[in-house]
Amino acid sequence: MNKKNIIKALLPLIIFLSLVILLYNGLGKNTRLLPSALINKPVPEFSVPSLMNGQTINNDSLIGQMYLLNVWASWCPNCRVEHPMITEFARQKIIPVYGLNYKDENAAANQWLNQFGNPYKDILVDIEGLVGIDFGVYGAPETFLIDAKGIIRHKIVGELNPQNLKNEILPLIEKYK
């Protein structure tokens, strides 16, 4: 048996074993609770157009207020699920909510907003998903809590709901006010 044949025969096993190790690592970790590496770090630098008026928004222009940054896309079913929650939160005017429209098309995003309503103070457009990568976005929806100094204080992976709003977001808003 030559070397090439041995490798060919063993390859599936090797690929499979790495997969098993990977899956085993992923087990038991609640992906929704994983802390972001960016917690208590400043917001990454970005400079992107606004979906609402086309003007450029950058990380500095948002400093001076505490806000929620909600990552959403029109292709994301769970974003529709959480949308009423975001709307209700924005209506209470505790802190403003900004949107990060992630890997989406502007036309689709606008149609989506027309359909479900626009709770956002402004929306960052991230067609390529590059801002998302800097923020360590895992998938839509995700929500970041960012304080007045531009420091990321919390991240929720998955949809915002009454529980994580009450138990995680609201106490932190009090704390960092």
Partner 1 sequence: MLAEIGQYTLAFGMMVSLLLSLCPLYGYYTKNEKIMQTARPLAYLQLIFMLVSFLILVTLFIIQDFSVTYVWQNSNSILPIRYRVSATWGAHEGSMLLWLTIQALWTGLVAFYSKSLSSDKIARVLAILGMVSLGFAAFVFFMSNPFLRTIPMPFDGNDLNPLLQDFGLIVHPPILYMGYVGLSVPFAISIAALLGGNIDENWIRWTRPWTNAAWACLTLGIVLGSWWAYYELGWGGWWFWDPVENASFLPWLAAVGLIHVQAVSERRNAFRGWTVLLAIIAFSLSVLGTFLVRSGVLTSVHAFASDPSRGVFVLSLLAIYAGGAFFLYALRANKLKSQTEFELSSRETLLLVNSIIFITVCFMVLLGTLFPLIFEAMGKKISVGPPYFGSMFFMMMVPMAIFLPIGVLYKWRKDKMKRVIKLLIPAFVIALVLTAISYWFFGGLNLKATLGVFAAFWLLISGFNSIRQQKTLTRGLWGMQLAHFGVAVFLFGVSMTEHTDFEIDALMHPNEVKIVKGYSVEFKGVENKQIENYNAFIGHFVVTQDGQQVATMNPQKRIYPRQGNPMTEAAIDAGFTRDLYISLGEQINDKGGWAVRVYIKPFIRWMWGGGILMMLGGLLASTDKRFFRHAKRLKQQNIENYLA
Provide the binding-site residues for partner 1, judged by CB under 8 A: 1, 5, 8-10, 12-13, 16-17, 19-20, 22-32, 34, 36-37, 73, 75-78, 80, 102-103, 114-115, 129, 132-133, 136-140, 157-158
- Give 103 or 121: the residue with its C-beta nearer to partner 1: 103
Instruction: In angstroms, give the least distance from the CB of 129 to partner 1.
Output: 7
- Give 5 or 163: the residue with its C-beta nearer to partner 1: 5
- CB 125, CB 50: distance < 8 Å: yes
- Give 12 or 54: the residue with its C-beta nearer to partner 1: 12
- Give 95 or 112: the residue with its C-beta nearer to partner 1: 112
- CB 139, CB 164: distance < 8 Å: no
User: What H or E segment, with its residue span, contains residue 113?
Assistant: helix 106-116
Would you tell me how many other CB atoms lie within 10 Å of the CB of residue 158? 18
Instruction: In angstroms, give the least distance from the CB of 65 to partner 1.
Output: 26
Phi-psi map region of 57: left, alpha, beta (phi>0 left; psi -120 to 50 alpha) = beta
Instruction: In angstroms, give the least distance from the CB of 99 to partner 1.
Output: 16
- φ/ψ of 64, rounded to 5, equals 110, -5
Instruction: In angstroms, give the least distance from the CB of 151 to partner 1.
Output: 19
- Give 46 or 138: the residue with its C-beta nearer to partner 1: 138
Which residues are within 8 A (CB) of 172 and not within 5 positions of it... i.e. 6 or more apart? 145, 153, 154
Owner of token pair 């699920």: 81
> Distance between CA atoms of 98 and 50, rounded to whole angstroms?
10
Instruction: In angstroms, give the least distance from the CB of 40 to partner 1.
Output: 17
User: What H or E segment, with its residue span, contains residue 128?
Assistant: none
